[in-house]
Structure 1
Amino acid sequence: MNLLRKKTVDQLVQESTPLRRTLGTFDLTMLGIGAIIGTGIFVLTGKGALTAGPALSLSFILAAVCCGFAGLCYAEFASMAPVSGSAYSYAYLAFGEIIAFIIGWDLILEYALQAATVSAGWSGYFSKLLEGFGLHLPVELTAAWGTTPGVTTYFNLPGFVIVLLITWILSIGINQTKRANDVMVIIKLAIIVLFIVCVVWYVNPSNWKPFSPYGLYSFQPGSTQPMGILPAASIVFFSFIGFDAVSSSAEETIEPNRTLPRGILYSLGISTVLYVIMTLIMTGVVPYKEFAKFINAPVAGVILATGLNWLAVIVNLGALLGMTTVMLVQLYGQSRICYAMGRDGLFPKFFADVNPRYRTPFKGTWFFGILTALAGGFININILFELVNIGTLTAFIIVSAGVMRMRRTQPDAHRGFRAPGVPFTPILAIVFCLVLIAGLNWETWVRFAIWFALGMLVYFGYSRKRSKLEPGRSPSDHADAEDGEGAGPALKTELA
């Protein structure tokens, strides 16, 4: 039983069945910004400010540095193996099948849980926007059961509908996805700049004192959660999740060797600058302890403190667009990871089927879109969002370690981009990831262990024997193993 059987770069590229290549550097940067800027600004800054005080800006920088080192490693892999699958495909190259499956399983957790979690926040802002026009949804249909203490809710209808709408856009083609994302990101950035220009004049520097009330890491009397810059960084790390989804678009990217690294790094840089500016302004306008009054809508609370009520409607729109692009990119990455795993035989071929008209993994996109919509609609998953962080940090560690391994085992492989400072860059990425993991609570570790155990049951019960690398099986065996067209033949016919 060879659990560490690997694929080569040539093998991955040869087996890839390119989808419609239309994404350039600008589109990838917009895709990355669309994934990063959303929940971090409009939701997590409230909890982050209570955890770190004004030093939350340093927490964002710490999380960004971690993602920056990891992003350099992703960029090297993306230029070396421009195929769908992101960290899953990279782990297949560097470490072998079982590690690749574990990372793919983690990424499913990352993308699905984040999209479902964001749909809950989207619903709240949508309800507030409607209230501004005198419209009110039945409170029972504004959130999942048990989400809001003291309020009876059963179903998150707005979140359910927006996830299905995004799924429809993703399923009908990358061009439609690209246009929708680009427009929403541009409007979102314009609204954030408007907020900065209008609100910066209300900053009171005395609100920044003390700048770091809880230090780097501490426990306060009566609190079971750690406080300080490091725990806040572990929380707001959630804000940066999504840039890795850019690398999963490799088979839909023009000149991926050049454009993928640029898209990853540009989106990280722009988003970090905006996060730091927004955090400093918000904690400068409102004393950090007062964020407890509006923890779920911190930007709206800051606007309320300034008296610029006209700005509230515009910022609510920006929040909706921000969260919409986050969900769009997460569901996009979800479908492409499962597409790659289905193509390799680790998931049913259903997920690798490509619609000949739209040239997208149509069935897999709708499968996970519906599951995510139901999860966000019925289940209170807010307590699980830290699972997204630990799953993503694990993937970052594997990718960073993979760069060092590939430099040693395949030093002459073509690399359109080489991460600078290897092995120090990936080592620093790993260290920062481990530091952020240490800031998570023990319940997250337990839940992650349960998810890992379920993944091992799937791998040994289904995936291992159906892998294309299983002795005696060939790509053609896999393609004919089940009813329906395989991704490869379908796309070859379409391209011809």
Structure 2
Amino acid sequence: MNLLRKKSVESMVAQATPLKRTLKTFDLTMLGIGAIIGTGIFVLTGKGALTAGPALCVSFLLAAVCCGFAGLCYAEFASMVPVSGSAYSYAYVAFGEIIAFMIGWDLILEYALQAATVSAGWSGYFNKLLEGFGIHLPVELTAAYGTTPGVTTYFNLPGFIVVLLITWVLSIGINQTKRTNDIMVMIKLAIIVLFIVCTVWYVNPANWKPFSPYGWYTFQPGSTKPMGIIPAASIVFFSFIGFDAVSSSAEETVEPNKTLPRGILYSLIISTVLYVIMTLIMTGIVKYPEFAKFVDAPVAGVILATGLNWLAFVVNLGALIGMTTVMLVQLYGQSRICYAMSRDGLFPKFFGEVNKKYHTPFKGTWFFGILTAIAGGFININILFELVNIGTLSAFIIVSAGVLWMRKTQPDAHRGFRAPGVPVTPILAIVFCCVLIAGLNWETWVRFVVWFALGLIVYFAYGRKHSKLGAAEGGASAAQSGIAGGDQASDNADAPDSLVSFES
């Protein structure tokens, strides 16, 4: 039983399927920005400011540096193995089947939980937007059960509906997905720039003192949660999750060897600059302890502090658009991961069937879209969002280690992009990922181990038995045995009678 059987780069590329290649560098950059800029600015800056103070901008930089090193490794792999599947496909080439399956399993959890978590935040902003027009949904239908302390809620209806709408857009074709995402990202960026231009004049540098009230890492008396720059970086790392989904679009990208690395790196750079500027402005307008009053809607709280009430409507709209693009990219990446795993036989064929009309994995897209909508609609998953972080960081570690391994084992393989500074770059990516993982609480580790164990059960119960690579190896072994047997019979036929009789 070979659990570490590998696929070659050539066989991966040869399996490319009839998905339409329409995405260019601009589209991939918009896809990356769409995934990155959303929840980080409109939701997590509040919790991050309470954890790190004004030094939150350093936390964002730390998370960005981690993603930057990992992004360079992703870019090299994307140019080397330009197929769907992202870290799953890269691990299959570098380390073997069981490692690839577990990373794919992690990515499924990452994308689903992030999309479901963001749908909860989207619902909150949507309800506020409706209230501005005097429309009030029944409170029981505004959030999942147990989400809001002291308020009886049962179902997140707005979040449920928006996930289904996004799933529909994804299912009918990459062109529709591309246009929808590009338009929304451009609007979102325009709104963020408007916020910066209008509020920068209200910054009071005195609010930045002390700049780092909790240092790099500390525990406050009576608290079990760490405080400081590193724990805040572990929280806001959630903001950057999604750029790796860009590499999942390899089979729908024009000239993936060039455009994928550019899309990954451009989206990271643009998003990081905007995050740093936004956090400096927000913590400069409002003293960091005051974010506790509006931790779930920090941008709206900052606007109220400036008195620019007219800007609140615009920013609410930007938050809705921003979180919509995040969910769109996450659900897109999830469907492509499952598509790649199904094509390799590790998931049922159902997830890998390409619709002849839309040229998309139609059934698989709807299957996980509906599951994600149900999860976001009924389950309070706010306590699980750190699972997204640990799953993604694990994938980053595997991809970075994969670059080191492939440089050693396949130094002459074609690479449209080569990560600079190898082996230092992937080693630094691994180190930064481990630092951020250390900032997560122990409950997250326990939940991750449980999910990992479930993945092993699925692999041994289904994936290993249906693996196409395993079937091909088994067929090759059988053929070799047949050839060997035929050769032996031929030799016996030509042997002297006495020898044949003796061997009998």
Q: Provide TM-score, normalisation by structure 1.
A: 0.95
> Unpaired segments of 5 or more residues in structure 1?
476-496
- The equivalent residue for 2:288 is 288
> What aligned pairs does 1:361-376 form with structure 2 within 5 A after superposition?
361-376=361-376
Deviation by residue 1:154-213 (Cα, 9 ceiling, x = unmatched): 000000000000000000000000000000000000000000000000000000000000
- The equivalent residue for 1:390 is 390
Determine whether 1:399 maps to 2:399.
yes
- The equivalent residue for 1:159 is 159
- The equivalent residue for 2:8 is 8
Q: Give the letter for the 1:379 counterpart.
A: I
Cα distance in structure 2, aligned partners of 1:472 and 1:87: 23
- The equivalent residue for 1:302 is 302
Cα distance in structure 1, aligned partners of 2:118 and 2:368: 15
Cα distance in structure 2, aligned partners of 1:63 and 1:14: 36
- The equivalent residue for 1:320 is 320
Once the two structures are TM-superposed, the CA of residue 450 in structure 1 deviates from its matched residue by 0.1
Once the two structures are TM-superposed, the CA of residue 264 in structure 1 deviates from its matched residue by 0.1
Cα distance in structure 2, aligned partners of 1:402 and 1:355: 33
Once the two structures are TM-superposed, the CA of residue 69 in structure 1 deviates from its matched residue by 0.1
Determine whether 1:234 maps to 2:244.
no
Determine whether 1:17 maps to 2:17.
yes
Cα distance in structure 1, aligned partners of 2:17 and 2:127: 42
Cα distance in structure 2, aligned partners of 1:12 and 1:242: 23
Cα distance in structure 2, aligned partners of 1:264 and 1:99: 24
- The equivalent residue for 1:487 is none
Cα distance in structure 2, aligned partners of 1:143 and 1:28: 33
> What aligned pairs does 1:215-364 form with structure 2 within 5 A after superposition?
215-364=215-364
- The equivalent residue for 1:103 is 103
Determine whether 1:135 maps to 2:135.
yes
Once the two structures are TM-superposed, the CA of residue 469 in structure 1 deviates from its matched residue by 1.2
Contact 2:18–2:359 (8 Å) recurs in 1: no
> What aligned pairs does 1:53-64 form with structure 2 within 5 A after superposition?
53-64=53-64
Q: Give the letter for the 1:438 counterpart.
A: A
Q: Give the letter for the 1:188 counterpart.
A: K
Contact 1:160–1:374 (8 Å) recurs in 2: yes
Cα distance in structure 2, aligned partners of 1:281 and 1:33: 20
Cα distance in structure 2, aligned partners of 1:10 and 1:74: 18
Once the two structures are TM-superposed, the CA of residue 222 in structure 1 deviates from its matched residue by 1.5
Secondary structure (helix, strand or coil) at the match of 1:248 reads helix
Once the two structures are TM-superposed, the CA of residue 256 in structure 1 deviates from its matched residue by 0.3
Number of residues of Structure 1 aligned to a counterpart in Structure 2: 475
Cα distance in structure 2, aligned partners of 1:234 and 1:330: 19
Once the two structures are TM-superposed, the CA of residue 15 in structure 1 deviates from its matched residue by 1.1
Once the two structures are TM-superposed, the CA of residue 472 in structure 1 deviates from its matched residue by 5.3
Once the two structures are TM-superposed, the CA of residue 18 in structure 1 deviates from its matched residue by 4.0
For the structure 1 residues 248 and 474, does the alpha-carbon distance in structure 2 shift closer, same or farther, using more than 3 Å as the test? farther
- The equivalent residue for 1:493 is none
Cα distance in structure 2, aligned partners of 1:35 and 1:19: 21
- The equivalent residue for 1:86 is 86
Once the two structures are TM-superposed, the CA of residue 470 in structure 1 deviates from its matched residue by 1.3
Cα distance in structure 1, aligned partners of 2:103 and 2:163: 24
For the structure 1 residues 446 and 77, does the alpha-carbon distance in structure 2 shift closer, same or farther, using more than 3 Å as the test? same
Cα distance in structure 1, aligned partners of 2:378 and 2:425: 42
- The equivalent residue for 1:411 is 411
> Unpaired segments of 5 or more residues in structure 2?
476-504
Q: Report the RMSD for the aligned CA atoms in angstroms.
A: 0.8
Secondary structure (helix, strand or coil) at the match of 1:470 reads helix
Q: Give the letter for the 1:238 counterpart.
A: F
Cα distance in structure 1, aligned partners of 2:222 and 2:314: 39
After TM superposition, where is structure 1 displaced by more than 2 Å over at least 4 residues in a row?
A: 471-475
Query: Which has the larger displacement, 283-292 or 14-23?
Result: 14-23
Once the two structures are TM-superposed, the CA of residue 35 in structure 1 deviates from its matched residue by 0.0
Determine whether 1:26 maps to 2:9.
no
Secondary structure (helix, strand or coil) at the match of 2:218 reads coil
Cα distance in structure 1, aligned partners of 2:172 and 2:48: 38
Q: Give the letter for the 1:242 counterpart.
A: G
Once the two structures are TM-superposed, the CA of residue 474 in structure 1 deviates from its matched residue by 8.5
Cα distance in structure 1, aligned partners of 2:363 and 2:385: 26
Once the two structures are TM-superposed, the CA of residue 471 in structure 1 deviates from its matched residue by 3.9
Q: Give the letter for the 2:117 counterpart.
A: T
Deviation by residue 1:116-167 (Cα, 9 ceiling, x = unmatched): 0000000000000001111111110000000000000000000000000000
Cα distance in structure 2, aligned partners of 1:472 and 1:270: 44
Secondary structure (helix, strand or coil) at the match of 2:469 reads coil
- The equivalent residue for 2:484 is none
Q: Give the letter for the 1:391 counterpart.
A: G
Cα distance in structure 2, aligned partners of 1:217 and 1:174: 44
Once the two structures are TM-superposed, the CA of residue 16 in structure 1 deviates from its matched residue by 1.7
Cα distance in structure 2, aligned partners of 1:132 and 1:285: 24
Q: Give the letter for the 2:330 counterpart.
A: Q
Contact 1:43–1:297 (8 Å) recurs in 2: yes
Cα distance in structure 1, aligned partners of 2:375 and 2:16: 31
Q: Give the letter for the 1:292 counterpart.
A: A
Contact 1:120–1:143 (8 Å) recurs in 2: yes
Q: Give the letter for the 1:116 counterpart.
A: A
- The equivalent residue for 2:170 is 170
Identity, in percent, stands at 86
Secondary structure (helix, strand or coil) at the match of 2:468 reads coil
- The equivalent residue for 2:502 is none
Secondary structure (helix, strand or coil) at the match of 1:158 reads helix
Determine whether 1:433 maps to 2:433.
yes
Contact 1:35–1:243 (8 Å) recurs in 2: yes
Q: Give the letter for the 2:453 counterpart.
A: A
Cα distance in structure 1, aligned partners of 2:472 and 2:248: 29
Structure (1 or 2) with the larger CA radius of gyration? 2
For the structure 1 residues 5 and 308, does the alpha-carbon distance in structure 2 shift closer, same or farther, using more than 3 Å as the test? same
Contact 1:160–1:377 (8 Å) recurs in 2: yes
- The equivalent residue for 1:481 is none
Contact 1:145–1:154 (8 Å) recurs in 2: yes
For the structure 1 residues 474 and 37, does the alpha-carbon distance in structure 2 shift closer, same or farther, using more than 3 Å as the test? farther
Deviation by residue 1:387-425 (Cα, 9 ceiling, x = unmatched): 000000000000000001000111111000000000000
Contact 1:468–1:474 (8 Å) recurs in 2: no
Q: Give the letter for the 1:311 counterpart.
A: L
Contact 1:18–1:252 (8 Å) recurs in 2: no
Deviation by residue 1:228-272 (Cα, 9 ceiling, x = unmatched): 000000000000000000000000000000000000000000000
Cα distance in structure 2, aligned partners of 1:18 and 1:280: 46
Secondary structure (helix, strand or coil) at the match of 1:249 reads helix
Cα distance in structure 1, aligned partners of 2:369 and 2:393: 24
Contact 1:61–1:272 (8 Å) recurs in 2: yes
Cα distance in structure 2, aligned partners of 1:100 and 1:16: 18
